[in-house]
């Protein structure tokens, strides 16, 4: 595209959107690439770009007989995860970003990053990636355009989003699109910034090649910018999986959205296979990470998954823990920082079968069984098309989304939080989400049992002031005439003997069934001072070898533990400060007063 062109053709779509053409010209003028290539999203283009990525050493072909269409990418070892300390919300005032986000003034951020972007793409190609978050044509979908100098980003965006000409056709001449700029620059942590400008619907990301920092449709647009748009436009952008459950006699599935912080089995839950005793039951995956939820004409909350693929953590994924995820990675999948077997397949810690004697580790070095080093990076990933998932919901691409009957907030807690608890009402449910906490594991911190608050699993992903975000959740009740019921779950409670009280994995289906039955008013529960819990007789425990005493222990409300919990919450309330809605403060005070 030359500086004067007024249109360009991408696939079969003529692009004449003046704002888009102008912006691409400006980005190119700043980054000074050798070439500008508009991505059309075709199969032929994917083939050519994949071959190019292999030739450039960005991708390593895997054994094509074992894993057709699959490739391995090794990132720079200094660039293997999201960088929360380098992630900024650039709102006109610090208060708009709130006390839980890093903030930079927009002018200062643009100026600082423009210096880094100046000439950053010399000798490289600037790819223009138009993409849709959400089903194409859905009134709830959003369009983004990411310009990037990373071919790895283009190929990943092709899996994670609806990419190419279809997005441009949907956009037309509208101005309603997200402007995303990304350059790897020199992958230097000193020159790495992920900046969000909610007021400009803009994201600038520099110095990284790692998924969460550079696949701008995911955390940056679908959650940070999305949450800001959601507040302005009256909807919710949430860090939630969406699943449907269908019993043998159900004509239609019932849908649940659930938020979990990392290391709590979120992807496993989204793709759960019900245990044998649930013959004829089916869990359908709509999404494994993000939900956009709006009020439908029927006054219910309807959800779409804005993504088209899974960017999942590989270690720990096996046929036992998550067969559907394993099957999703059987073909057309990009692996990042996993280990390579001698016959060109992938391997990671926790995979089925014996540990191979020798491997090539995630850094490309020879690795021997018994080595103290991990073969796969603990945050190694698969980028797999949702279409590969045998349990993909037939409604996953429905432009209207699916109606949500229950919302679940989960965390990893060895004490206090019962296996499952239903809130008394919406405001109490929002309080449960707002005060969600999860314990760090020994591996991560050296100390077990440190509770970190991660409200609604959104702490790193809320694009504006967290207190105002809670306020938005409370406000939404006015519009949701038929609100979903809100629950809290904890698969990780331990007994006095230090063992887990609940088996987890597929048996979580039993908890899910109670949740759905409660949401439909079909089953009993016990009212406690803090919420409704099931007793052993309320949960379907057929075929599970567990005593009623252990179930009672798992669902027990211990008032002393809760007194300590409310004390622990005080620090978080102090952090959120003035912006914490009165309703949330009063919920806490009410519960504290009730337990005395
Ligand atoms: C993710 C995350 O990658 O939450 O989904 O970090
Ligand atoms: Mn996530």
| pLDDT tens by residue, 209-249 | 999 899 999 999 999 999 999 999 999 999 999 999 999 99
Spacing, Cα 223 to ligand 2 middle (Å): 10
**pTM for the structure as a whole:** 0.97
Q: What is the pLDDT of residue 262?
A: 80
Distance CA 494, CA 501 (A): 5
**Closest-lying ligand 1 atom to the alpha carbon of residue 313:** 3
Q: What is the pLDDT of residue 264?
A: 87
**Closest-lying ligand 1 atom to the alpha carbon of residue 82:** 6
- Residue 440 Cα distances to 330, 448, 450, 453, 560, angstroms: 32, 6, 6, 11, 22
Which of 212, 214, 267, 461 has most ligand 1 atoms within 8 Å of CB, for mutation?
212
Which of 82, 381, 456 has most ligand 1 atoms within 8 Å of CB, for mutation?
82
| pLDDT tens by residue, 539-590 | 999 999 999 899 999 999 999 999 999 999 999 999 999 999 999 999 999 9
Q: Which ligand is nearest to the CA of 262?
A: 1
Q: Which residues does ligand 1 sit against, CB inside 6 Å?
A: 82, 212, 262, 289, 311
Which of 156, 219, 307 has most ligand 1 atoms within 8 Å of CB, for mutation?
219
Predicted confidence (pLDDT) at residue 205 exceeds the cutoff of 60: yes
Q: What is the pLDDT of residue 450?
A: 86
CA atoms within 13 A on the CB side of 242: 29
Closest CA to 128 of 288, 309, 310, 5: 5
Q: What is the pLDDT of residue 265?
A: 86
CATH of 310-388, one of 2.30.30.830, 3.90.180.10, 2.170.8.10, 1.10.510.10: 2.170.8.10
Pairing of strands 87-89, 102-103: parallel
Residue 424, token pair as written in the block: 């008394």
Confidence of residue 523 (pLDDT cuts 50, 70, 90): very high
Cα of 593 vs its chain's centroid, Å: 36
- Residue 54 Cα distances to 48, 145, 200, angstroms: 10, 25, 36
Calculate mean pLDDT across residues 172-191: 97
CA atoms within 13 A on the CB side of 220: 32
> What's domain 8-58+82-234's superfamily in CATH?
Phosphoenolpyruvate Carboxykinase, domain 1 (3.40.449.10)
| pLDDT tens by residue, 253-274 | 999 999 998 878 899 999 999 9
The strand pairing partners of 35, in sequence order, are 125
Domains of the chain by residue range: 8-58+82-234, 238-308+394-595, 310-388
For domain 238-308+394-595, give the CATH number: 3.90.228.20
Phi-psi region of 518 (alpha: psi -120 to 50; beta: other; left: phi over 0): alpha
- Are the CB atoms for 196 and 174 separated by under 8 Å? no
Closest CA to 19 of 196, 233, 201: 201
* 3-class SS letters over 477-515: HHHCCCCCEEEEECCCCECCCCCECCCCHHHHHHHHHHH
* Sequence-ordered strand ranges (E) for 165-322: 177-183, 193-197, 202-206, 236-238, 240-246, 254-259, 282-287, 291-295, 301-304, 309-313
Confidence of residue 445 (pLDDT cuts 50, 70, 90): very low
Burial (CB < 10 A; 0-12, 13-18, 19+), residue 196, is buried
Residues annotated as catalytic are 264
- Indicate the helix (H) or strand (E) that contains 427: helix 426-434
Phi then psi for residue 226, to 5 deg, are: -60, -45
Predicted confidence (pLDDT) at residue 442 exceeds the cutoff of 60: no
Pairing of strands 193-197, 202-206: antiparallel
DSSP class of residue 349 equals: T
**Closest residue CA from atom 2 of ligand 1:** 262
Share of the chain above pLDDT 70, in %: 98
**Closest-lying ligand 1 atom to the alpha carbon of residue 239:** 4
Q: What is the pLDDT of residue 415?
A: 95
Distance CA 111, CA 274 (A): 53
Q: What is the pLDDT of residue 43?
A: 98
Please list all protein residues whose beta carbon sits less than 5 angstroms from ligand 2, which is an ion.
289
**Closest residue CA from atom 5 of ligand 1:** 289
Spacing, Cα 121 to ligand 1 middle (Å): 28
Q: What is the pLDDT of residue 437?
A: 93
- Residue 460 Cα distances to 117, 125, 263, 398, angstroms: 25, 31, 15, 29
**Closest residue CA from atom 3 of ligand 1:** 212
- Which residues, 6 or more positions from 44, have their beta carbon under 8 angstroms from its beta carbon? none
Confidence of residue 7 (pLDDT cuts 50, 70, 90): confident
């Amino acid at each position: 595209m030359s500086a004067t062109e007024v249109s360009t053709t991408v696939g079969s779509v003529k692009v004449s959107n003046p704002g888009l053409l102008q912006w691409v010209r400006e980005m190119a003028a700043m980054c000074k690439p050798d070439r500008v290539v508009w991505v059309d999203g075709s199969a032929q283009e994917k083939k050519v770009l994949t071959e190019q990525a292999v030739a450039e050493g960005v991708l390593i072909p895997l054994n094509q007989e074992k894993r057709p269409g699959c490739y391995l990418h090794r990132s720079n070892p200094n660039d293997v995860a999201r960088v929360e300390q380098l992630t900024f919300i650039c709102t006109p005032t610090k208060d708009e970003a709130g006390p839980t986000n890093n903030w930079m003034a927009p002018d200062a951020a643009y100026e600082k990053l423009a210096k880094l972007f100046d000439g950053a793409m010399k000798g490289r190609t600037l790819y223009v990636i138009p993409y849709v978050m959400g089903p194409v044509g859905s009134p709830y979908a959003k369009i983004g355009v990411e310009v990037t100098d990373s071919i790895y980003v283009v190929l990943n965006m092709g899996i994670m989003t609806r990419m190419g000409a279809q997005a441009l056709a949907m956009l037309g001449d509208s101005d309603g699109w997200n402007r995303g700029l990304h350059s790897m620059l020199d992958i230097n942590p000193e020159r790495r910034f992920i900046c969000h400008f909610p007021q400009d619907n803009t994201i600038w990301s520099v110095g990284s090649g790692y998924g969460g920092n550079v696949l701008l449709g995911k955390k940056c647009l679908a959650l940070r910018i999305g949450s800001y748009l959601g507040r302005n436009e009256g909807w919710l952008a949430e860090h939630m999986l969406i699943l449907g459950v269908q019993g043998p006699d159900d004509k239609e599935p019932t849908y649940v959205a659930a938020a979990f912080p990392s290391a709590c089995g979120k992807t496993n839950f989204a793709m759960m296979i019900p245990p044998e005793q649930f013959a004829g039951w089916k869990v359908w995956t709509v999404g494994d990470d993000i939900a956009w939820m709006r009020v439908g004409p029927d006054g219910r909350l309807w959800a779409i998954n804005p993504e088209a693929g899974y960017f999942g953590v590989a270690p720990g994924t096996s046929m036992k823990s998550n067969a559907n995820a394993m099957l999703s990675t059987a073909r057309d999948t990009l692996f990042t920082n996993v280990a390579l077997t001698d016959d060109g397949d992938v391997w990671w810690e926790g995979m089925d079968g014996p540990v191979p004697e020798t491997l090539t580790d995630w850094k490309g070095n020879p690795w021997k069984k018994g080595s103290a080093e991990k073969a796969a990076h603990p945050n190694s990933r698969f980028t797999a098309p949702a279409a590969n998932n045998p349990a993909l919901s037939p409604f996953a691409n429905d432009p209207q989304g699916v109606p949500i009957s229950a919302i679940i907030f989960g965390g990893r807690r060895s004490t206090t939080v019962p296996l499952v608890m239903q809130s008394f009402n919406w405001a109490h449910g929002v309080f449960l989400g707002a005060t969600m906490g999860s314990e760090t594991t020994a591996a991560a911190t050296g100390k077990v049992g440190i509770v970190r608050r991660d409200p609604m699993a959104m702490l790193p992903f809320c694009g504006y002031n967290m207190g105002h975000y809670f306020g938005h959740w409370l406000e939404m009740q006015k519009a949701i005439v038929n609100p979903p019921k809100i629950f809290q779950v904890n698969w990780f409670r331990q007994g006095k003997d230090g063992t887990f009280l609940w088996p987890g994995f597929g048996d979580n289906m039993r908890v899910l069934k109670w949740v759905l039955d409660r949401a439909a008013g079909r089953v009993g529960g016990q009212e406690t001072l803090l919420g409704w819990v099931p007793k052993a007789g309320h949960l379907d425990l057929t075929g599970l070898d567990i005593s009623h005493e252990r179930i009672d222990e798992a669902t027990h409300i211990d008032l002393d533990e809760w007194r300590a919990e409310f004390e622990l919450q005080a620090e978080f309330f102090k952090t959120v400060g003035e912006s914490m809605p009165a309703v949330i403060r009063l919920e806490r005070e009410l519960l504290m007063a009730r337990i005395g």
